[in-house]
Structure 1
Amino acid sequence: MVTTLHGTPVVPGLAWAPALVVATGVPDEAVRRYGDGGHADDAAALAAYDAAVAAVADGFRTKAAAADGATAGVLTASAGLATDRGLRAAVRKNLRAGQPLLTAVDHAVEQFVTVFTGMGGLMAERVTDLRDIRSRIVARLVGEPEPGVSMPSTPTVLVASDLAPADTAGLDPRVVIALVTERGGPTSHTAIIARQLAIPCVVGAAGVVEAAAGRRLLVDGATGAIELDPEQVDAARRVALDAEERAALGAWEGPGRTADGRPVSLLANVADPASAAAAAAGPVQGVGLFRTELGFLDRASEPSVAEQADIYADVLAPFAAGERHVVVRTLDAGSDKPIAFATHPDEDNPALGVRGLRLSFIDHGLLERQLDAIAEAAKRTGTDTWVMAPMVATVDEARDFATAVRARGLRAGVMIEVPSAALLADRMLAEVDFLSIGTNDLTQYTMAADRMCSDLAHLTDPWQPAVLQLVALTAAAGQRAGKPVGVCGEAAADPLLACVLVGLGVTSLSMAVAAVRAVGARLGAITLAQCQEMARAALAAPTPAAARDAARSLATAQRHQQPEE
């Protein structure tokens, strides 16, 4: 019998290769050799820390400059975290208390790890980043190369307890053909970057690090199954069939519609001009999520209206021709995306604090200036521009935001990330022109579960029936109002779940551009009625796994019936 482990599926596809188990850290011998560092005094030790931090931050920024989209944003945020003034102050305090430099760094990081873990929610996602930053700083101090993934020369399944953004961002999908981690959930940094790379990925697979060493793994990114040393002929056959299917999907060129002709707008998530240009070259009908905050994570002061307008215009311009539109999200700053000029550094629980639209309650000018810049960019490029606000919880918030947006001649919408907004979707749509469901946060807030806690990965799964019920409620409100309701969270990139979302009444899906062809091809192979049947089965299921299995069984049966129709 083949031993099979299970985790949470993130990116579909089959991959079969030897496991490369990654252990990050600095060699113990190098740490012992460094000792107390031999620094003359606290000031000299702190200067050494500052130099190491600067080198680490520069490394993150260099990688960010070579990346785009969400990957670049994640790396830029890591650079900001490495140079955080609070972390430096904790190191300095520990040095003055008589601790040697490495101990001072270790204790300072663990202090923040405790704080972030206690906050839960999005802030807990930064724990992996913090520990990765500590390893990199220590490596710089002791004269060792920064730890991380050494790129293999032959196809490999990368296995790790967890992967930091700097590790996943540098992966070459030609040789790292699948990712498996013990920790993390479907919206973790590893999952997000794996979707951009379009390689099979499973997270939250307990015990895989110990079990995988020296084994060949067959990873099924659609089911979450990881087979250890499967029978070779059968594994090769299954992978070859999957490769044929994926090659066929890669030939899809749009437009998005079901087999019986129901239109479904397939849109791209972008973060900057480079990712916008890449998306515009693909088979997308526009942008469903322009994450404006990712361009400002490393800014100490707010960009001027003119500077913002230039950046936004560069993103809007590739979509000026044809009938494509761009949905711009106003600053979703706060929690795991701190911005120096906007967010509050000392909140007890940032995930439930002043983030997103709530920043404008304290500094209304921040929103007004951004809307002015978006309006100027839209006028300059002629692109059909929609604007939506994140973290909207009440109808009054939606009304006030819509008034401000429409005063500038733009279409106004809000994100459905908070359960209260989903429950009030009819009333929200009386105030705005469209809704966009952010499944990442909606799942976290609905299930009251930290997205990065692997023990709770079953709760942070967007297939949770409670989450699907809220999506159905929101989509039904859109149908009654005759207004569009889209999904821009990571759930939209799952081809199977995309069919369920369309069956629930969602009219558009926005995702990493690498996922568009697979989603479009899957939707084009089945009818709207079949999507609705899959949606009913998923809603009736008791667990995410059961919902996924029910939808997959129906999809398989429908695909086999298709030639006879």
Structure 2
Amino acid sequence: MCSAARDRPVSPGRDRFPDRRTDRTSVTQTQVLQGTPVVAGKAFGPAIWPGARPDYDPSAEADVAADEREVEAKRFTDAAATVAGRLRERASHASGAASEVLVATAGLAEDRGWVGAATALIAKGTPAPAAAAAATEQFAVMFTKLGGLMAERVTDLNDVRDRVVAELLGIPEPGVPEPPVPSVLLADDLAPADTAGLDPTLITALVTRLGGPTSHTAIIARQLGIPCVVAVGGLATVAVGTTVLVDGTAGTLEIEPDEAVALAGVDESRRKAAAVASWTGPGTTSDGHRVSVLANVADGASARNASGHPVEGVGLFRTELAFLERTEAPTIAEQATLYREVIDAFADRKVVIRTLDAGSDKPLKFVTQLNEANPALGVRGNRIAIDHPEIRADQLDAIAAAARESGATPWVMAPMIASPSEAAEFAGEVRRRGLVAGVMVEVPAAAILAPAIMAEVDFVSIGTNDLTQYTMAADRMSAELATLTDPWQPAALALIDMVARAGEAAGKPVGVCGEAAADPLLACVLVGMGVSSLSAAPAAAAPVGARLAEVTLDQCRSAAQAVLRTADPAEARAVASAALGG
């Protein structure tokens, strides 16, 4: 199946396309619902919910006659192609992450595995809409068991199913309605096609019952620059048209607030946003302590887009796009061309390249791998080189070739390093090619042994998304466990502090390239711990840089010390806010 979908999973077979709004009852008194804050800012307006999903009961239809099955199969493939075409059309008018996720979802609608499963059912007499539902459930069960990024695709599978079924039934395609006035979008969860390409002048905030800080919804909200709160308990009680106030800093949704107070809060939030938008870098605290503000990119196009933001370089170049969905390994020359695009987009500036982070939940089609009971703990990242050293060797050769052609010296780091010996082996291969060697700290063992690992490499970069999920033993794609994978979890922050202190002792840079680096308040805490660079989605650069410019290094250090004495994420946010002046 397509590997680029990025939303959180829902349980397979959770329903047969009901209108999720039918279970909601109106709120009769003012109340405040609490969730996880993702994107700061305030928004006020009426609540809207995504349009109804197809109301279809597969058991109500009779089997398709044998002489009609070929036509029925064509009806299904035509519907899938139509849905894919609409998504690609929307992608052509979008940019950045929005365009990428729409293209990925379009590919999912025409995926050979899913289409093949559905047409096989139709060949046995199953009506096309029912076949779409059954094929989706088949893959959803399988992906949920695999966990990780495979489970992440379930929301997108269900979304594609609903769009294809709607096309087959001749009813309007489900999705986000275009409101007549600026409104707040509420949802159980949002698929990429729902959120990609939203108009931020009409959808002024996103609030979901499920999801987490690293979900697709959060990523798109950051790109749009609108407030976002996820994992909100009791959200289903909020009826369409209810006036709400979203506070993306506090992580709250206030029901029927005082309008004058709410509008004043929104105005103040907009003034702050305007001040943030004027920040142009470089990253520094108010007393002159330098912090590199960098971008996460995936290819040449995203790197060129990132270069238009106030970033000083690339802190994480994900190289997976050169490998995934290919039936044979890319050549050294093909890879070098792709890497050169990113290096050229940031000529004379820092570029940190992460070697292939695939395997297990992001399988390579040209590599035979065993099925793993727990893929998040399996053969992924640098571990692929155990049985397939040629993949990593070719990639390093390609990076070296791109470096020679451009005259640059990129930094290169390996994912999923768990021991000093692994770090030493990788660093030797990188340095042999004249490159700067580093590793990702995502495994708690690497954080605990940070001094020994630091002795083997030139730098480290902390991947907070994976470090938090491994520390808390909670899948970061699980909506039910979103509170455990909150980047403010004190246990994960304690490990980050250990790594940062090891870096300072060794005189080597420590970066953060997870979503934690996109949170302006948490960014200040990380700097107070000793983190020297922050890399996130390009849209996060200005908010992070502007917040750092308001505080001193001593304030950051005080906030970090206070956070490390806390026991839960909410308390950590509160003490950090108090130490940094709100």
State if a TM-score over 0.5 links the two structures.
yes
Moved more, 124-133 or 433-442: 124-133
1:217 equivalent in structure 2: 244
- 1:207/1:317 Cα in 2 relative to 1: closer, same or farther (>3 Å)? same
2:564 equivalent in structure 1: 539
Contact in 1 for aligned 2:294/2:311 (Cα 8 Å): yes
1:155 equivalent in structure 2: 182
**SS of aligned partner of 2:580:** helix
- 1:67/1:377 Cα in 2 relative to 1: closer, same or farther (>3 Å)? farther
- Of residues 411, 421, 446, the one that matches 1:396 is 421
Determine the C-alpha separation between the residues in 2 that align with 1:144 and 1:198: 33
**SS of aligned partner of 1:256:** coil
* Aligned ranges 1:74-473 → 2 under 5 Å: 74-95=101-122, 98-294=125-321, 296-321=323-348, 324-334=349-359, 337-341=362-366, 344=369, 346-473=371-498
- Of residues 476, 497, 501, the one that matches 1:476 is 501
Shift of 1:48: 3.6
Shift of 1:410: 1.0
1:562 equivalent in structure 2: none
TM-score in terms of structure 1 length: 0.91
Q: List runs of 5+ in structure 1 lacking aligned partners.
A: 558-565
Residues 52-107 of structure 1, C-alpha deviations (whole Å, 9 max, x = no match) = 33444444455555555444444444345444444345435544554333223212
Determine the C-alpha separation between the residues in 2 that align with 1:347 and 1:24: 37
| Equivalent residue letter for 2:50 | V
| Equivalent residue letter for 1:125 | E
Contact in 2 for aligned 1:21/1:158 (Cα 8 Å): yes
Contact in 2 for aligned 1:334/1:343 (Cα 8 Å): no
CA RMSD of aligned residues (A): 2.5
Residues 22-52 of structure 1, C-alpha deviations (whole Å, 9 max, x = no match) = 14522549x8998756773555444443333
- Of residues 24, 45, 53, the one that matches 1:17 is 45
Moved more, 96-105 or 505-514: 96-105
Higher helix share: 1
| Equivalent residue letter for 1:477 | A
**SS of aligned partner of 2:153:** helix
| Equivalent residue letter for 1:378 | A
Shift of 1:470: 0.8
Determine the C-alpha separation between the residues in 1 that align with 2:90 and 2:335: 23
| Equivalent residue letter for 1:318 | A
- Of residues 42, 54, 57, the one that matches 1:26 is 54
In the alignment of these two chains, the number of paired residues is 554
Residues 160-199 of structure 1, C-alpha deviations (whole Å, 9 max, x = no match) = 1110011111212222110001111111111122122221
Residues 193-218 of structure 1, C-alpha deviations (whole Å, 9 max, x = no match) = 21222211001112213314221111
Contact in 1 for aligned 2:136/2:157 (Cα 8 Å): yes
2:34 equivalent in structure 1: 6
Q: List runs of 5+ in structure 2 lacking aligned partners.
A: 1-28
- 1:107/1:32 Cα in 2 relative to 1: closer, same or farther (>3 Å)? closer
**SS of aligned partner of 1:440:** helix
Determine the C-alpha separation between the residues in 2 that align with 1:223 and 1:239: 14
**SS of aligned partner of 1:387:** strand
- 1:506/1:33 Cα in 2 relative to 1: closer, same or farther (>3 Å)? same
Residues 295-331 of structure 1, C-alpha deviations (whole Å, 9 max, x = no match) = 554444333222222222111112113xx21111122
| Equivalent residue letter for 1:312 | Y
Residues 231-277 of structure 1, C-alpha deviations (whole Å, 9 max, x = no match) = 01101111111111111111111111111111100001112222212
Contact in 2 for aligned 1:183/1:205 (Cα 8 Å): yes
Determine the C-alpha separation between the residues in 2 that align with 1:159 and 1:317: 41
- 1:555/1:72 Cα in 2 relative to 1: closer, same or farther (>3 Å)? same
Residues 118-171 of structure 1, C-alpha deviations (whole Å, 9 max, x = no match) = 333333222211211211222233334432223334311111111001111121
